Amino acid sequence: MNLSEVSKQLLDAKRKSNLTFMDIGQKLGHDEVWVAALFYGQASFPDEKECQKLLDLLNVNLTSEQMHELTHPPHKGATLESLPPRDPLLYRFHEILLQYGIPIKEVIHEKFGDGIMSAVDFTVKVDKDETIKEAPRVNITMSGKFLPYKRW
């Protein structure tokens, strides 16, 4: 995985502080997945004031150049080194797309028409369902704005 030095610092501080992404998200007013995206260089704060809240929480000091990395649009997707991903969990997402991508696309078109689901106006929620004790379930809810293709 390609991680910046800032990402490595944040992840190390998170580990040392014994905080989860959910803990940090609650303290900052952000979702845990968005916080994880920030730590892995896939999201950015709108300004230095909000960024400083995270740095204070984790007791991290950054240079102005490093702070810039957390407050400016990132190079999205840069952390993955290859496709398909080699990590087994990430590969399963690739496998899901290979197996169910076209069917999901067709169902979206049936319900909404010709268009796409935004990955910009988008949220994702990860929950743990333990109703079946011997086989806990991972529930992932993705919500993206529907963007119809323009006809001209």
Do 31 and 67 reside in the same domain of the chain? yes
**CATH number for the domain that contains residue 130:** 3.30.1160.10
Do 130 and 91 reside in the same domain of the chain? no
Amino acid in the structure at residue 18: N
Q: What is the pLDDT of residue 2?
A: 84
Prediction pTM value? 0.86
Q: What is the pLDDT of residue 53?
A: 96
Do 67 and 105 reside in the same domain of the chain? no
CB 98 within 8 A of CB 37: no
Amino acid in the structure at residue 48: E
- Residue of 81, 86, 106, 118 with catalytic role: 118
Clarify whether 92 is annotated catalytic: yes
Q: What is the pLDDT of residue 96?
A: 95
Q: Give the residue numbers spanning the domain of 26.
A: 5-71
Q: How many domains in the chain?
A: 3
**CATH number for the domain that contains residue 14:** 1.10.260.40
Clarify whether 151 is annotated catalytic: no
- Residue of 5, 81, 86, 95 with catalytic role: 95
Clarify whether 118 is annotated catalytic: yes
Please report whether residue 78 resides in a domain: no
